[in-house]
């Protein structure tokens, strides 16, 4: 089986072969209050997925039918609104947040882990600048602790400024891409399949090609 992606009518599903005997698949949907209990019942969850994907090719459905119920994992997707990122604290004093604590996002762009790595690079670079030899050259021993604290605080503020807008950009794009793919609207579906395809592809490439800079070895 080759890679497959199926979306529309309020659902998204896909599968990627890992090797000759193993397939990794996913199924996304927005459950009703009655459907939320499916997360606790793998047997019912499996039947629900098969029913929703009844129009998929038989080879794609086959891997679901062969999947053992104990292998099914259900988990809610987390998302942080752009306005929360815009107004919320990313750093405070000598503490900051990164990764999913900063920008939980849906998996539509596949950039959650990548953004966490970007956070690490930017944070390391900002802290390295704070503790560079040039920065500490004129520091007196008695002022060392206070000066270190201030430098850390300023470096984390710099990190927050750099990562805030990148996080807003990626999470907002990620969310809208997911909504467009998973829409039940016939109008949006028509636009997606006939007009927006090229635009969406360019957005994906644009977001994933981001350069967060480099780390210089001392």
69-114 confidence digits (pLDDT tens): 888 888 888 788 888 999 999 999 999 999 999 999 888 888 889 9
β-strands 95-96, 4-8 pairing: unpaired
- Where are the chain's structural domains? 4-71, 82-208
| pLDDT more than 90, % of the chain | 25
**pTM of the predicted protein model:** 0.76
Secondary structure (3-state) at 28? strand
Whether the CB-CB separation of 96 and 160 falls below 8 Å is answered with yes
Mean pLDDT across the stretch 3-9? 76
The whole-number pLDDT of residue 20 equals 82
Tell me the β-bridge partners of 7. Answer: 12
The whole-number pLDDT of residue 156 equals 96
Secondary structure (3-state) at 83? helix
- Residue 3 above 80 pLDDT? no
β-strands 4-8, 11-17 pairing: antiparallel
Q: Which of 8-17, 31-40, 42-51, 183-192 has the highest mean pLDDT?
A: 42-51
Mean pLDDT across the stretch 110-121? 93
């Amino acid at each position: 089986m080759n890679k497959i992606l199926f979306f529309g009518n309020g659902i998204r599903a896909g599968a990627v072969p890992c090797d000759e005997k193993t397939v990794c698949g996913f199924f996304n949907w927005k459950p009703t209050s009655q459907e939320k209990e499916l997360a606790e019942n793998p047997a019912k969850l499996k039947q629900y997925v098969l029913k929703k994907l009844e129009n998929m090719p038989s080879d794609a459905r086959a891997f679901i039918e062969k999947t053992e119920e104990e292998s099914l994992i259900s988990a809610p997707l987390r998302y942080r609104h752009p306005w929360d990122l815009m107004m919320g604290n990313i750093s405070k004093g000598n503490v900051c947040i990164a990764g999913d604590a900063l920008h939980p996002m849906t998996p539509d762009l596949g950039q959650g882990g990548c953004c966490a790595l970007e956070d690490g690079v930017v944070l390391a670079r900002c802290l390295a600048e704070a503790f560079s030899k040039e920065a500490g050259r004129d520091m007196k021993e008695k002022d060392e602790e206070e000066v270190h604290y201030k430098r850390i605080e300023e470096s984390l503020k710099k990190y927050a400024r750099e990562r805030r807008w990148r996080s807003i950009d990626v999470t907002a794009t990620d969310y809208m891409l997911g909504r467009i793919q998973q829409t039940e609207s016939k109008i949006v579906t028509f636009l997606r399949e006939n007009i927006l395809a090229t635009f969406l592809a360019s957005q994906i490439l644009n977001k994933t090609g981001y350069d967060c800079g480099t780390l210089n070895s001392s």
